[in-house]
């Protein structure tokens, strides 16, 4: 990742209040991933693009020795402050990890590495730092699920991505993961799940929460801030999206994919 892209990416995730999103909306995903991978005592685990550590903390609570890495130091600082268990927090780019080859028993990422813009580079790093026979586990939003559809809705209003960058929700497509990880893994298992989110009473409340707290949404609105008509149009589209996914009382199901595999020998 070039320095300019890296700086913008870090600033995007530091904007708003992603720690609130992590604790109020998506906290269950970390423990679900740790359980799916089977992480336990005595394992050396790396959580890539860990954010505030939802998965890293769950892995440490399971008895593993955990390193949480993320590009955004502001998120790591919140995670370290709030963690009830000891683990190591390291500022690191998912596309160029500062760890030795084959140095972890398990490499995981919970809705994290999917946001690294250059998928092939990030996937190669996941494989490189995992020891042969070790575990790789990912939890990613799917393209057809709510968050995937939110990104599709925002795309026409967003700044052009860097050349070669790919959309984050592709990491929730099993075929894309097969292309990325290829013969570097065996024993692949893929499961789709829904995260029930009942935090918002109305579709408008969802939109406003994401406008103020979620870095990617904030970045899109900043891109169109000087065009009130486009702001109004995106406002309406996000409300309509949430209304289509309402399963009652403002609650929504957000589909995600859990992918587990063993690093090939």
* CA-based nearest residue to 48, from 136, 132, 133: 136
Distance of CA 170 to the CA centre of its chain: 12
pTM attached to this predicted model: 0.96
> For tokens 């996941």, what's the residue?
126
Its sign, for the CA torsion 160, 166, 171, 172, is positive
The pLDDT tens digits of the residues spanning 139-192 come to 999 999 999 999 999 999 999 999 999 999 999 999 999 999 999 999 999 999
Q: What is the DSSP letter of 171?
A: G
What's the CATH number of domain 3-198+252-263, 3.40.50.150, 3.50.50.60, 3.30.70.3420, 3.30.420.40? 3.40.50.150
User: What is the maximum span of the chain, computed from C-alpha positions, in angstroms?
Assistant: 56
Do the beta carbons of residue 59 and residue 45 sit within 8 Å? yes
What percent of the chain lies above the pLDDT cut of 90?
Answer: 97
The pLDDT tens digits of the residues spanning 43-81 come to 999 999 999 999 999 999 999 999 999 999 999 999 999
């Amino acid at each position: 990742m070039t320095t300019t892209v890296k700086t913008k990416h870090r600033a995007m995730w530091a904007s708003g209040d992603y720690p609130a999103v992590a604790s109020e909306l998506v906290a269950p995903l970390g423990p679900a991933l740790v359980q799916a991978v089977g992480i336990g005592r005595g394992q050396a685990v790396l959580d890539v693009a860990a954010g505030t550590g939802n998965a890293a903390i769950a892995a440490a609570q399971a008895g593993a020795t955990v390193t949480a890495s993320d590009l955004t130091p502001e998120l790591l600082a919140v995670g370290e402050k709030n963690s009830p268990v000891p683990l190591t927090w390291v500022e690191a780019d998912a596309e160029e990890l500062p760890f030795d080859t084959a140095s972890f028993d398990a490499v995981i990422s919970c809705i994290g590495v999917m946001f690294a813009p250059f998928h092939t580079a990030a996937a190669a790093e996941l494989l490189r730092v995992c020891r042969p026979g070790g575990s790789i586990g990912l939890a990613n939003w799917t393209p057809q699920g709510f968050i995937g559809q939110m990104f599709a809705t925002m795309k026409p209003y967003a700044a052009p991505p860097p050349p070669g960058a790919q959309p984050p929700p592709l990491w929730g497509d099993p075929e894309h993961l097969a292309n990325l990880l290829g013969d570097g893994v065996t024993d692949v298992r893929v499961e789709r799940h829904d995260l029930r989110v009942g935090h918002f009473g109305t579709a408008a409340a969802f939109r406003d929460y994401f406008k103020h707290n979620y870095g990617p949404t904030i970045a899109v609105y900043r891109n169109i801030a000087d065009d009130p008509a486009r702001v109004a149009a995106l406002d309406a589209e996000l409300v309509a999206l949430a209304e289509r996914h309402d399963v009652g009382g403002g609650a929504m199901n957000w589909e995600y994919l859990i992918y587990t595999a063993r690093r090939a020998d």
